[in-house]
A and B are shown apart, each in its own frame.
Chain A
Amino acid sequence: MHEMAIVENLVSAVGEQVVQHKLKQVTKVKVVAGELTGVVPDVLRFCWQVCTENIPACSGAELDIEQKPAVARCRSCAAEFEMRHNFSCPRCGGGIERVVSGKELYIDYIEGE
């Protein structure tokens, strides 16, 4: 359950945007979370609600979470494949050269006025 700690970081990052853009009310925060980060969207949304309850500028803002699948590149044939409890290339059986996506954890955009 590291969602609460992630949301504390998120609240602080959104807060910076609120100040920078002089927002009175944030209505939506769009987050991209890779599968490998182990973030559970429902838990993240719940933590967001709890953490922003007493922050007027963020309270009630929708937290939209886009999950990115874990994708790796094969070290033998360079094909990209989705990791679904398999860590070798479905085409040639090679191992992973590097993870192409799935580790993301960033704020895409926020909406507010």
Chain B
Amino acid sequence: MEIKVLKNIMERNEDLAAENRRLFAEYKIFVLNMMSSPGAGKTAILEQAIPRLKDRFNMAVIEGDLMTSRDAERISFHEVPVVQINTESSCHLDAGMVNRAVEELELNDLDLIFIENVGNLVCPGTFDLGEHVKIVVLSVTEGDDKPAKYPLMFQESRACILNKIDLLPHTNFDLDRFYKDVSDMNADIEIFQTAAVTGQGIDRWCRWLEELVTAKNGS
């Protein structure tokens, strides 16, 4: 007997993501899912952004890592609530993990949650977490060919942060090629150039984020 199913395989994850989305809507919290390969600078960008946004929003960070709580320790230095998820063998966060992490946060107090996904340019793209916006961080030292090699990430993201821009003269990264590939594959993506170690370009990204959060939360 053949049974026609036509059902999304990821339905279980998507049900949980929908639950997260309902929860975020109920508490009026804007949620950003940050994806990148390991070492692109997600944590460093947050360390620069949090002090700039602190007067405006109450924030929390969900840190996804295979192992260690080093990133969470870096973030908690900035006195915002942090929940560390250690995925151990899993190369991405899923909606269930975020669901459990959110239980540890005082949601009434929050306007904005950053989810720092596990460093990986492939797998996180398949898992809806219930976030409002996905962004991808790429560093110039990784090479300008990464959007072409990992298109899903760049197609799903509302913004791309090109980090370590201060190192550009020391690499063969072709900015024109990068801009062309990314804007060819995603007409609406916003591109920001930053150097998280010096803070260069972070203000502009924070203003973009502020507008999104304000538009969504009406605060």
Contacts and interface: CB of A to CB of B under 8 A. Distances in A.
Contacts of B187: 75, 95-97
Interface string B24-45: 0000000000000000000000
B140 to A, nearest CB: 20
A99 B9 contact: no
- Measured as residues with beta carbon below 8 angstroms from the partner, the interface class of chain B is 20 to 34
B9 A6 contact: yes
B151 A87 contact: yes
The binding surface of chain A is classed by DSSP as: mixed
Interface residues of A, number: 37
A30 to B, nearest CB: 9
B10 interface: yes
Interface of A: 1-2, 5-6, 8-10, 12-13, 17, 21, 23, 31, 36-38, 70, 72, 75, 83, 85, 87-88, 95-97, 99, 103, 105-113
Interface of B: 1-13, 90-92, 94, 122-123, 125-127, 148-149, 151-152, 155, 180-181, 183-187
Given A85-B149, A87-B181, A95-B184, 18 more contacts: A1-B91, A2-B91, A2-B122, A2-B123, A8-B12, A9-B9, A9-B13, A12-B12, A17-B3, A36-B151, A36-B152, A36-B155, A88-B180, A103-B152, A105-B9, A106-B5, A106-B7, A109-B2
